[in-house]
Amino acid sequence: MKPIRVLVANRPRLMRELVLETISDQPDIEVVGAIQEESDIQAAVDQTQPDFLIVALDDQDRLPSFCQSILQSHSQLRLSPSLPTATARSFTGLRSACNPTKSSHPKRGC
């Protein structure tokens, strides 16, 4: 099975590092990049073509507004939102979300 390609776009830096540390040593996950600035996310998604984009939720615990346009231009991309209080358990769903299920939208993720 090919590795799950993940792009991490989390702020603050500590959260991004926690996410990277949690998933980078997994043999079936390939981290294709880590983005600090929101303005760089679209270009990074275009360049790396990840399976998942892990993105921090905004202050009201919603997906940032740029997510909608990224999903429109990359229909196979799945989003995995993370909260500043997330732990390693937040990322255990990556493997199962990449495997086909009976869900009506198995590739959309969270």
Mean pLDDT of 94-100: 58
The whole-angstrom separation of Cα 58 and Cα 11 is: 10
Tokens standing for residue 69: 């346009």
The whole-angstrom separation of Cα 38 and Cα 3 is: 25
φ, ψ for residue 65 (rounded to 5)? Answer: -60, -30
Structure confidence at residue 97 as a pLDDT band (50, 70, 90): low
Of residues 10 and 98, more confidence is placed in 10
In sequence order, what are the beta bridge partners of 7? 33, 53
Of residues 27 and 108, more confidence is placed in 27
Class of 4-98 in CATH: alpha beta
Of residues 110 and 73, more confidence is placed in 73
Mean pLDDT of 23-46: 92
The whole-angstrom separation of Cα 99 and Cα 40 is: 28
